[in-house]
Structure 1
Amino acid sequence: MNPVSKVEGRAYPLGRANVDTDVIIAADHLKTIQRAGLGAHAFGSIRAEPGNVFDDPAYAGAPILIAGDNFGCGSSREHAAWALTDMGIRAVIAPGFSDIFSGNAFKNGILTVKLDQAAIDHLMAVAQEHSLCVDLDTMTVTSPLQDRFTFELDPFRRECLLGGKDEIALTLASESAIEAYERRTGT
């Protein structure tokens, strides 16, 4: 996993509440264990709508997504996080997230930022014309208009994201202790 310190750039101003994992990536794209290529199918049902934000060239390659409450609800498919990562999204800002999606996002290096609805509404308007910066070091979301919103994140998740450490890296950090245990127990 790549370390996450700052995510800067344009933000897709989606703003919809209750976007479930079926909307993020449809079930017919779950037959793969390959992460590459899923981004092209992300938000397929929304992309079918005329004038949708994902096909607007102004937001092409945006690393940030602004969503509504309960983002990532529905099934536990990790493919949703894979699709967002493949799209280039490194941070999602919303009033709330499904617990399972939040965990999958974290495990795939996506920063989930909870802000209240008033902040979301303001950032949706700002994102129409301006870039945003999500700074994990200072735990803030800022804009060129001098906006500054603070957020909280579990300290363990914060340190893992800053260090780029997923579950495998955390286990490997204890490799010598694991080997010593195996020698002692004969396993």
Structure 2
Amino acid sequence: MSLSQTSPLQRPDPGPQAPGSAPYLVPLLVGGLVAVALGVYGREHTPTGYAVGLAGFSGAQAMKSWLATASFVLAIVQLVSALTMYGRIPGLQAPSWTGALHRWSGRLAFVLSVPVAFHCLYALGAQFDVPRVLVHSLLGSFFYGVFVAKMLSLPKRNLPGWTLPVLGGLAFAALTGLWLTSSFWFFTTFGVTF
């Protein structure tokens, strides 16, 4: 047998392989687990009715509403900066600082959302008896799941170009729904109070 021939037990080298589905599935799986874990915890945890509030607010609901509003405004900054970086706003060239603005507005939006999520999960728990609260509970779990999936996808270089925009768009949509079912509802029901 010559060196150029292969035996029936040997397979020829197929050459470079295209990446499998693992780069997509691992971040989505971990994000899905985070979403489910938050939902299960929120549902199974006995709500305390009390959580630590931040100084300067009249109550926990006002604190949550204003922090969620700040997160939502920063999410709009995220959306506009992402659209600018991807060249989706005609006639607008992305300034050199757009990437930094996008990263820092996202970080700050996340940090501001943590006390809100903590209060929702710890003090109130996931509630499914009122439609608005059911949607809010599901969107909260979904938001953090998508956020985790997006953060885990960021360092991966072999993902298609649409992956981060889709995950970012889903996070923005979830945060919009969260704001509408919490802050907007609070402000229109009880007024704009601190």
Normalising by structure 1, we get a TM-score of 0.27
Structure with a larger share of its residues in helix: 2
Structure with a larger share of its residues in strand: 1
Q: Which has the higher contact order (CA 8 A, sep 6+)?
A: 2
